[in-house]
Structure 1
Amino acid sequence: MFTTRPELTGDFGMVASTHWLASATGMGVLERGGNAFDAAVAAGFVLQVAEPHLNGPGGEVPILLWSEAEQQVSVVSGQGVAPAAATIERFAELGLDVVPGTGLLAATVPGAFGGWMLMLERWGTWSLADVLAPAIHYAEHGVPALERISATIASVEGLFTNDWPTSAATWLPDGHVPAPGSQLANPVLAATYRRLVAEAEAASSTREGQLEAARKAWYEGFVAEAIAEFSAKTAWRDSSGEVHGGLLTGDDLAGWSASVEEPVTFDYRGHTVAKTGPWGQGPVFLQQLALLDGFDLDAMGHLSADYIHTVTEAAKLAFADREAWYGDTDVPMSDLLSAAYNAERRRLVGPEASFELRPGAPGGRQPRLPDFPAPGTASNAPGLSGARRPQGVGEPTVERNGIVKGDTCHVDVVDRHGNMVSATPSGGWLQSSPTIPELGFCLGTRAQMFWLQEGLPASLRPGTRPRTTLSPSFALRDGKPWLAFGTPGGDQQDQWSLNFFLSVVHGKPNLQEAIDAPMFHSEHFPSSFFPRGSRPGVLHVEDRVDPGVLAELRRRGHEVEAQDSWTLGRLSAVARDGAFLKAAANPRGAQGYAVGR
């Protein structure tokens, strides 16, 4: 099988991520005696600088990790919550029926810093100064501007110049869009992190005391004060077309902290897959496995018409349940993953493509779906099309019709001790919200994933997490820790990751071969992003798939939109395989790399 690069094999350590600077940073930590948790944190902060259009300090991070000392999988929730003032009534007073996709109204508590710090304190060994040093260096001296960074800034140049001057000051050096390959620095962000280190070291002489002091400075000290003041005292144009201030306060930040949780798991063909709880979309991966467990994918053959059709139709059913049941509330996961429920749901997979959104009734509960914008409409954003454009390598950073979106990053690490990390940082994109001038970063917009309708699991409620699309993955094989993996891509994350996992389990290729294999996904179900449109029946398939397969899928009713050969999926992965450690990364986009020895 053709591969773009080799699967890496060694016994010391492996790091794979969506940017080569983050992968090299993480490997450097391992080489200097740090463990997988130290390496992931350092790499995560570098991603904020190297891929600012895909994540930032004002965003969030869910993490799945394996601790060799504890012999268990844990979830770190670095997902912030909605502000106390963020109510459905408040948005109705503003004339909004969908949370804007940009600006201050969509901000939740920025959880990434708390999530990284919690993992570092509990499982790591390095100091705050050490893990932040690479990010400070790159923010101070600059990184090579990716072509996509330049394109993103060019797309919002008018917005920055006309409406968001603080963003223009940060991202339009000398008043111009940075050219691809030019040196892009963020000295204000570097100063923010330097001040955090200085305050932490002044507060305590111990590693743990310094980490606690840094958290306090972020959520109660100078960072929180700047965020609260900016949110309360400024107002900016957002994707609703109107000018709005923010709802986030100092009390919201001070009252939140990252948490450690148990994963949700499902056993599939000798493998146990672990995901976050249903406050994120992670369990939809497990529901797809539960449905597919009743089909003979081996007999169908990888990427055959039968295979793609079956996997796609199962995805439609699982994601319909995501829409009806998932949220930061009591979700009937045991029923959703039960054998009886999935045997019943499996019968809905017919010979032709479905164009319906069909949630189930787990435990006899009757589903309720949100009032989605009709396909091709955009709710409260006049003139904007709700039908989503082709996704390319992930959620589009900026759509030409004026809807500003962002994508995501990912990092996986395994060390010589056997510790493993899968983390998916996102949010706080440079194009998502105006830059806070004292801090050098902007707030996130994850609240756009709440519904402004009462009585739904994902309804906007103060103090709850939005049903995020961020979805790192971990798998055990025969009860032993095996694979940490994930991808950017918004709603596509738990389709692309699933396709990769199924390929490895059923086709038995190595990690790089599975990542390089042609990818596909459905756009059938409603988007988690403003303006929440859908494209029923639409199936994206890379055009490397056999033309006869595409023709057969069309005959079965799928609206196949063939995509360029290397455009879908941005996976990376690390593994423990007997005496060896392994790693692979995505060639699409020419920036993801795995390193190791």
Structure 2
Amino acid sequence: MSFTTPPAFTTRPTLTGTFGMSASTHWLATASAQAVLERGGNAFDAAVAGGFVLHIVEPHLNGPGGDLVGIFATAEDPGTPVVLMGQGPAPAGASIEHYRGEGLELVPGAGGLAAAVPGSVDAWLTLLHDHGTWEIADVLAFAIGYARDGHPLLAQAAATIGRVAELFTSHWPTSAALWMPQGRVPEAGTMMRNPAYADVLESLVAAGHAIRDDGPVGREERIQAARREWKTSLVAQAASEFLSVPHRHSDGADHAAVITAEDFSAFDAGYEPAVSIPFRGHTIAKAGAWTQGPVLLQALRILDGCPGLDPSTEAGAHAVIEALKLALADRDAYYGDADVPLDLLLSAEYAATRRAQIGESASREWRPGELAGHEPFRPPLRTAGADGRAGLGEPTRGDTCHIDVVDRWGNMIAVTPSGGWLQSSPTIPELGFCLGTRLQMMWLDHASPAALRRGGRPRTTLSPTLVLRDGRSEMALGTPGGDQQEQWQIPVLLRMIAGGYTAQQAIDAPSLHTTALVDSFWPRGWTPAGVVVENRLGAEVISGLQRRGHDVTAAGDWSLGRVSAVGRDAATGGVWAAANPRGMQGYAAGR
């Protein structure tokens, strides 16, 4: 089946050039990253600068107390995708028995008990140390400036503060002090400052300067000194001490966190090999099954044998949704920071058996696959609310951001930072930020491969993508969206790789996703046959999905997906970038 004709009109052009490109979910992060490229930095310098800016300008979507997953390829080795691992583990004091003893059936969705060891800052600094070229002071100058001098508060951030205002004033006064100046919810566009976090960043720079008199030192030693400062000094001590005092969690009770200063010092970000599959002449690379990344790979494997792949048609949309439901069921049955049989899950033979399970109508079952020698974990299937998404109304629930960069030398990177949302847990006053809640993605059940255990990484939703062709990186992309990250990337990839769309055409095109999954976020609901679509998909396609038995929710014309992407044209040596128009804050830049 051929794809629908790509639209002649797009909300903005796919940017093309020869020098370098940046794209992200916020224009200030994009501009900062591109400024680094213009001043001679490489893609890794630029991504780090933009990443720290995202902590400041999208505080409701990520923060320094959160985590990240990245994927990149270097100009020296453009055919080898590498995963940047910035997911901190569960603290040493975290155990199922302790949380059960607190009267909990699930890890809370807000509060210090849900905090994994922060991984984002150490991962950014590790990347800068190993692959960047800039001094830490120069890279952090952008974020320090926005924290010290101010930045305009996003409308979505102001709305988030409004949703948690009562929680802040009644239970988290330190959060109210930072985010509700004069005791009021700030309006969109208010110039927000965070001097405490500016002080933290300046302390990292100062740690590097302090070792200059101890003999010959260079850029790398100064970055390592900043990493030590982050993990052993004020941040670790203040965060662990502050959260040891019982405070309100999402279950409505007060608990003390278990994270300690020693947990901070024990964690090191690092690198891992990517996992990949072939697809239509390309190689699609993702992080391993401690993320949900292989869901995208499994779904593409299944779809590769389907007759229709166009998400803009009834048959194609149905196939995409049903393939995703099967892959997501495998995610919840088999994925985790454990011994996951990915070789079986990603095999062509297994994909064929799963493809045969797709019928003409919507499945209303939760169906993990059968793997010889492996018993699937079966999580509780708690039916979500009528809105089709568990926890949609939970005020402390957050989202994610994303950044991509490609430079003129051929370095290419996509990073998805998240966690440490301003609404995650109480603000630590000396630091100007809170810790994240990634542990809510772990089960209080020893049978799960994603069970809570000390030192284990939560099975995160963070999931950027690298696409390669003919042994070279061709495209880096990603999106916020929690459980929707793979789901919103797949239509873009299908339209570009199989449908001939440009990046901006594919990003602008109407999107969709299923809610027939076990939600990764508290309170972890499930919606049989739930599908959410953009109205632009068209009445004919929507009614066709309903006839097939899908429970369809129309979410508006421009509401689903926040994909951004950068790439390199091997034939011309040129570079390109595209960004998401939804929400009116994501932009690409370059030349």
Q: Deviations over 1:135-192 (max 9, x none)?
A: 0000011111111111111111111111001101111112211111111111111111
Counterpart pick for 2:263 among 252, 257, 271:
252
- Please give the secondary structure, in 1, of the residue aligned with 2:458: coil
Counterpart pick for 2:27 among 6, 9, 20:
20
Q: Identify the residue that residue 510 of structure 1 maps to in structure 2.
A: 502
Measured in 1, the distance between the counterparts of 2:532 and 2:558 equals 12
Counterpart pick for 2:423 among 416, 422, 431:
431
Q: CA deviation at 1:405?
A: 0.5
Q: CA deviation at 1:550?
A: 1.0
Measured in 1, the distance between the counterparts of 2:427 and 2:388 equals 28
Aligned 1:495-506 pairs, distance under 5 A? 495-506=487-498
Aligned 1:10-409 pairs, distance under 5 A? 10-71=17-78, 72-204=80-212, 205-232=217-244, 234-297=245-308, 301-372=310-381, 374-376=382-384, 387=385, 389=387, 399-400=392-393, 402-409=394-401
Measured in 2, the distance between the counterparts of 1:489 and 1:558 equals 21
Measured in 1, the distance between the counterparts of 2:538 and 2:53 equals 39
Measured in 2, the distance between the counterparts of 1:66 and 1:125 equals 16
Aligned 1:414-563 pairs, distance under 5 A? 414-563=406-555
Aligned AA (1:24): A
- Please give the secondary structure, in 2, of the residue aligned with 1:113: helix
Contact 1:239 1:403 (C-alpha < 8 Å) held by counterparts: no
Contact 2:174 2:429 (C-alpha < 8 Å) held by counterparts: yes
- Please give the secondary structure, in 2, of the residue aligned with 1:75: strand
Q: Give unpaired runs (5+ residues) of structure 2.
A: 1-6
- Please give the secondary structure, in 2, of the residue aligned with 1:328: coil
Aligned AA (1:146): L
Measured in 2, the distance between the counterparts of 1:153 and 1:546 equals 35
Q: CA deviation at 1:587?
A: 0.2
| Runs of 4+ more than 6 Å apart | none
Q: CA deviation at 1:64?
A: 0.2
Measured in 2, the distance between the counterparts of 1:226 and 1:545 equals 49
Measured in 2, the distance between the counterparts of 1:17 and 1:368 equals 36
Contact 1:388 1:534 (C-alpha < 8 Å) held by counterparts: no
Counterpart pick for 2:16 among 9, 29, 35:
9
Q: CA deviation at 1:302?
A: 4.6
Measured in 2, the distance between the counterparts of 1:203 and 1:243 equals 42
Measured in 1, the distance between the counterparts of 2:13 and 2:542 equals 29
TM-score (norm 2): 0.96
Measured in 2, the distance between the counterparts of 1:589 and 1:229 equals 37
Q: Identify the residue that residue 3 of structure 2 maps to in structure 1.
A: none
Contact 2:302 2:351 (C-alpha < 8 Å) held by counterparts: yes
Aligned AA (2:399): D
Which region of structure 1 is more displaced relative to structure 2, 30-39 or 354-363? 354-363
- Please give the secondary structure, in 2, of the residue aligned with 1:544: helix
Q: CA deviation at 1:388?
A: 7.4
Which region of structure 1 is more displaced relative to structure 2, 360-369 or 349-358? 360-369
Which region of structure 1 is more displaced relative to structure 2, 87-96 or 213-222? 213-222
**Structure 1 residues 118 and 96: alpha-carbon distance in aligned structure 2, compared to 1, 3 A threshold:** same
Aligned AA (2:221): G
- Please give the secondary structure, in 2, of the residue aligned with 1:365: coil
Contact 1:271 1:479 (C-alpha < 8 Å) held by counterparts: no
TM-score (norm 1): 0.95
Aligned AA (1:283): P
Q: Identify the residue that residue 382 of structure 1 maps to in structure 2.
A: none
Contact 1:412 1:572 (C-alpha < 8 Å) held by counterparts: yes
Q: CA deviation at 1:437?
A: 0.6
Number of residue pairs matched by the alignment:
577
Q: Identity rate of aligned residues, in percent?
A: 52
Q: Deviations over 1:59-84 (max 9, x none)?
A: 00111011111332111100000011
